């Protein structure tokens, strides 16, 4: 004779989140922040300072001038600062919706530049837009400087705000260039 424990579809246990699940989510968000933020931090430092075998500020600004971003010094510096600063904020998990907006706006401009090379040419910038948007909605997780602070923001409203701010900033930049 077999005995079975009764199953209740609406039990509190079925809706409880296992603490190992939340730790996994926090580690996943940390990995996403470190990957996305780290890549942007490195590319921004290449543009601004020539670190990590980068070309440095003068070559960056000349390149932006050549790509049609006039004045090249303004737009090259702005792009480098946004990548460097936005990447650093993501790495730290600090002011995450603002960091997401910075990345979204900057990478929309990168998509604009790389789109003539097709979807494959724009794929890394598009992936960074998607990662930044996800972080804008989900927040940085518990392994972050934002966690538990009065300024910590996440959720639908903050994710939408990051998207809107990033898109508006990108459109203003594209119109001004």
Model confidence over 27-67: pLDDT tens digits? 999 999 999 999 999 999 999 999 999 999 999 999 999 99
Q: Tell me what pLDDT residue 18 has.
A: 66
Q: For residue 2, is it within any domain?
A: no
Torsion sign, CA atoms 107, 42, 22, 94: negative
Report yes or no: 102 and 89 within 8 Å, Cβ to Cβ: yes
Under 8 Å between Cβ of 72 and 61:
yes
Determine, yes or no, domain membership for 164.
yes
Domains of the chain: total = 1
Counting Cα atoms < 13 Å in the Cβ hemisphere of 156 gives: 0
pLDDT over 90, % of the chain: 84
Kindly state whether residue 8 falls inside one of the protein's structural domains. Answer: no
Predicted confidence band of residue 160 (pLDDT cuts 50, 70, 90) = very high
Higher pLDDT, 151 or 137: 137
In angstroms, the Cα distances linking 161 to 24, 57, 141, 149, 170 are 26, 31, 18, 19, 14
Q: Sign (positive/negative) of CA torsion 43, 49, 53, 59?
A: positive
Percent of the chain past pLDDT 70, that is, above it, reads: 89
Give me the domain span that covers residue 137.
Answer: 23-176
Name which residue leads in pLDDT, 7 or 104: 104
Q: Is residue 41 part of a domain?
A: yes
**Nearest Cα residue to 96 out of 125, 127, 39, 138:** 138
The answer to whether position 31 is within a domain reads yes
Residue 10 in any domain: the answer is no
**Residue 14 is assigned to a structural domain of this protein:** no
Tell me how far the alpha carbon of residue 134 is from its chain's centroid: 8
- 4 domain-assigned: no
For residue 120, CA distances in Å to 53, 76, 109, 124, 134 come to: 24, 23, 16, 8, 21
Global pTM reads 0.87
């Amino acid at each position: 004779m077999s005995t079975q424990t009764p199953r209740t579809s609406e039990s509190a246990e079925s809706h409880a989140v296992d603490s190992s699940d939340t730790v996994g989510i926090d580690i996943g968000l940390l990995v996403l922040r470190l990957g996305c933020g780290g890549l942007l931090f490195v590319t921004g430092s290449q543009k601004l300072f020539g670190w990590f075998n980068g070309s440095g500020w003068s070559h960056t600004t000349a390149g932006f001038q050549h790509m049609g971003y006039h004045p090249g010094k303004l737009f090259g510096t702005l792009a480098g600062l946004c990548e460097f600063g936005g990447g650093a904020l993501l790495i730290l998990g600090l002011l995450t919706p603002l960091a997401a907006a910075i990345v979204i706006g900057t990478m929309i401009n990168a998509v604009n530049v790389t789109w003539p090379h097709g979807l494959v040419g724009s794929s890394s910038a598009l992936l960074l837009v998607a990662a930044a948007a996800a972080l804008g909605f989900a927040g940085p997780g518990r392994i972050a400087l934002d966690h538990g602070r009065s300024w910590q923001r996440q959720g639908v409203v903050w994710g939408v705000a990051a998207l809107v701010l990033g898109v508006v900033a990108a459109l203003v930049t594209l119109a001004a260039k």
